[in-house]
Structure 1
Amino acid sequence: MWNAKPPSSPVVPPVVDVEWLDQNRKNVVILHVSYDPHCDLNQKDFVKTYFDDVDKRIQHFTSVQYQIGHIPNAIEFSLNCATYPGRTERFYLYNQSEVASYLQKLAIYPDEHIVVYSTGPYNGMLYAAKARWILKVYDFCKVSVLDGGLYAWEKAGKALTKEVTVLQPSTLIPRRMNMQEHITLSELADGGHREIPILHDLERWNFIDCRPAAQYQGTAKPRQFTHIGDKAVGSFIQYSKNLPALKVISTNGLMAKKEDIEKALEQAEYDGKFKTILFCYDSLQSSLVGLAMEHAGYSAPRIFTGGLFEFEIRMPHYINGQYGYPLY
Structure 2
Amino acid sequence: MSASYSTLIGAVELAQRLRDPDWVVFDCRFDLADPAFGRQAYAQGHLPGAIFLDLDDDLSSAKTGRNGRHPLPDPARLVARLEACGVGNHTQVVAYDDAGGMFAARLWWLLRWFGHHRAGVLDGGLQAWLAAGQALTEDAPAPRPSTYTLALRADRVEADYVLQHLGQADMVLIDARSPDRFRGENEVLDPVGGHIPGAINRFFRDNLDARGCFKQASVLREEFAALLGAHSPRQVVHQCGSGVTACVNLLAMEAAGLSGSRLYAGSWSEWCADPARPVARGAA
1:216 to 182, 185, 191: 182
CA distance in 2, matches of 1:262, 1:108: 31
Contact 1:61/1:81 (8 A) holds in 2: no
Where does structure 2 lack aligned partners over 5 or more consecutive residues? none
Determine the structure 2 residue equivalent to 1:292. Answer: 252
Determine the structure 1 residue equivalent to 2:191. Answer: 227
CA distance in 2, matches of 1:269, 1:217: 20
Task: Compute the displacement of 1:15 (Å).
Answer: 0.3
Aligned residues: percent identity?
Answer: 20
Q: SS in structure 1 opposite 2:56? A: helix
Superposed CA deviations along residues 5-56 of structure 1, whole A, max 9, x for unmatched, are xxxxx9634001011111122332211113352478xxxxxxxxxxxxxxxx
Determine the structure 1 residue equivalent to 2:139. Answer: 163
Q: Which amino acid aligns with 2:236?
A: T
CA distance in 2, matches of 1:311, 1:65: 32
2:92 to 91, 100, 113: 113
1:304 to 238, 261, 264: 264
Task: Compute the displacement of 1:316 (Å).
Answer: 5.4
Contact 1:242/1:268 (8 A) holds in 2: no
- Is 1:22 matched up with 2:15? yes
Q: SS in structure 2 opposite 1:208? A: strand
CA distance in 1, matches of 2:121, 2:266: 23
Determine the structure 2 residue equivalent to 1:272. Answer: 231
CA distance in 2, matches of 1:37, 1:238: 26
Residues 142-151 or 100-109, more deviating: 100-109
Superposed CA deviations along residues 140-183 of structure 1, whole A, max 9, x for unmatched, are 2210110001111011111111111011333x3543332x2111
Q: SS in structure 2 opposite 1:109? A: coil
CA distance in 2, matches of 1:269, 1:94: 30
Task: Compute the displacement of 1:321 (Å).
Answer: 4.2
Contact 2:241/2:269 (8 A) holds in 1: yes
Question: 1:1-328 to 2 correspondence within 5 Å?
Answer: 12-27=5-20, 28-38=23-33, 63-82=39-58, 83-87=60-64, 88-119=67-98, 121-122=99-100, 125-170=101-146, 172=147, 174-178=149-153, 180-189=154-163, 197-201=164-168, 203-218=169-184, 220-221=185-186, 223-224=187-188, 226-228=190-192, 235-273=194-232, 275-315=235-275, 317-323=277-283
Task: Compute the displacement of 1:254 (Å).
Answer: 0.4
Task: Compute the displacement of 1:227 (Å).
Answer: 2.7
User: TM-score when scaled to structure 1?
Assistant: 0.76
More helix by share: 1
CA distance in 1, matches of 2:37, 2:76: 21
Task: Compute the displacement of 1:317 (Å).
Answer: 4.1
Task: Compute the displacement of 1:264 (Å).
Answer: 2.5
Q: SS in structure 2 opposite 1:19? A: helix
CA distance in 2, matches of 1:248, 1:271: 21
Task: Compute the displacement of 1:273 (Å).
Answer: 4.1
Contact 2:69/2:242 (8 A) holds in 1: yes
Q: SS in structure 2 opposite 1:34? A: coil
Superposed CA deviations along residues 239-293 of structure 1, whole A, max 9, x for unmatched, are 2211111110111110011232123324435433471111111112210010000
RMSD of equivalent CA atoms: 2.5
Contact 2:11/2:122 (8 A) holds in 1: yes
CA shift in 2, pair 1:62/1:153, >3 Å = closer
User: TM-score when scaled to structure 2?
Assistant: 0.87
